[in-house]
Amino acid sequence: MQDSIHRYFKVGTIHFMSFPEVMRGDGDVLGTLRQLLTDDYFDAIELTWISDPAVRAQAARMLDVAGVDVCYGAQPRLLTTGLNPNALTEKDRLQAEATLREAIDEAETLGAKGIAFLAGKYEYAHREEAYSQLLKTTRALCSHAADKGMSVELEVFDFDIDRKALIGPAPLAARFAADMRQAHPNFGLIADLSHFPLTRESSRFVIQTLRPYITHLHFGSAVAASPSMTAYGDAHPRFNFPNSANGVNELRDYLRVLKEEGFFREDEPLVLSIEVKPWQDEEASLVLANTKRVLNRAWALL
């Protein structure tokens, strides 16, 4: 492509993946955020919970001054606590709903226009009951968000390898989104290239299956060939990591399908965020630079 990618997408990164030390709501939130906000490659930043209200207020001010789009990922509120939005026990489901309601309120203070979350683990024998529970939670969240003019997005994860989330395979994600959209137009799905090797689905299949409901995009890689391999599962290792399933060609193919399916929208660009995490002692800035080079090359090859 000769046009800049920024013409068609708001290129972002996920703060708590680029700097995983902030995933639990503390750590050097402001220092790491400043590193991202001073890099004009990024049009959007995705944050998660920030436990200290004073730090949260400073972060909100920095985001506003930097002029980026703000997104809020509530996934750590579930992944670090074990809370399950599709828990079969109503008490447990309500606990997950409560923290996600808090996420909507916190996201509003940071200037975000919505939140993203993921489905919880499930038992295959009780998948329909879990599905109904997830609908109950998500409908409540969408109603709460709608009162604030905000949206709710569900990120599609693997269903049988690592996260083992109910949503899940692309056809089930499409069914869920269709059910949600009947009454909640502020609901959407996040498609993530990193997860396609784990769900054993192609970019073309996922994007075409979820096309009416996709409101947000992520990209990265995974190690998926064997459990014996380093970083196997939903670890989001850098591109060119040993046994990495995605590289320049896979990212190019992802972008090509997005173009064919009408997602190159210069009037209403979607957020397209890096979801790559340093492995062990890797330096975050080097991993980000690696990812930007891969994205630049894949874009050039379109």
Q: How confident is the model at residue 179 (pLDDT cuts 50, 70, 90)?
A: very high
Q: How confident is the model at residue 188 (pLDDT cuts 50, 70, 90)?
A: very high
Q: Which residues of 260-273 are buried (b: 16+ CB within 10 A; e: fewer)?
A: eeebbeeeebbbbb
Q: From the centroid of its chain, how far is CA 30?
A: 21
How confident is the prediction for the chain on average, in pLDDT? 98
Locate the domains of the chain by residue range: 5-300
Q: What percent of the chain has pLDDT over 70?
A: 100
157, 189 contact by CB (below 8 A): no
Task: Give dist(CA 290, CA 276) in Å, integer.
Answer: 10
Q: Which CATH number fits domain 5-300: 1.10.1740.10, 3.20.20.150, 1.10.4010.10, 3.40.50.1820?
A: 3.20.20.150
pLDDT in tens, 96-130: 999 999 999 999 999 999 999 999 999 999 999 99
Instruction: Give the mean pLDDT of 277-293.
Output: 97
Task: Give dist(CA 161, CA 199) in Å, integer.
Answer: 8
Task: Give dist(CA 230, CA 242) in Å, integer.
Answer: 8
For residue 231, pLDDT over 90 is answered with yes
Prediction pTM value: 0.97
DSSP secondary structure letter of residue 120? -
103, 74 contact by CB (below 8 A): yes
Check residue 110 and give its pLDDT.
98
Kindly give the residue spans of alpha helices, DSSP state H, lying in the chain: 15-18, 29-37, 53-66, 75-79, 90-110, 127-146, 170-181, 196-199, 203-210, 248-260, 284-300
Check residue 1 and give its pLDDT.
87
Nearest to 116 by CA among 59, 196, 44, 207: 44
Pairing of strands 69-73, 187-192: unpaired
DSSP secondary structure letter of residue 245? S
Check residue 257 and give its pLDDT.
98
Please name the amino acid found at residue 254: Y
Tokens 């062990």, located at residue: 280
Give whole-number Cα distances, 216 to 11, 21, 198, 207, in Å: 11, 24, 19, 12
145, 101 contact by CB (below 8 A): no
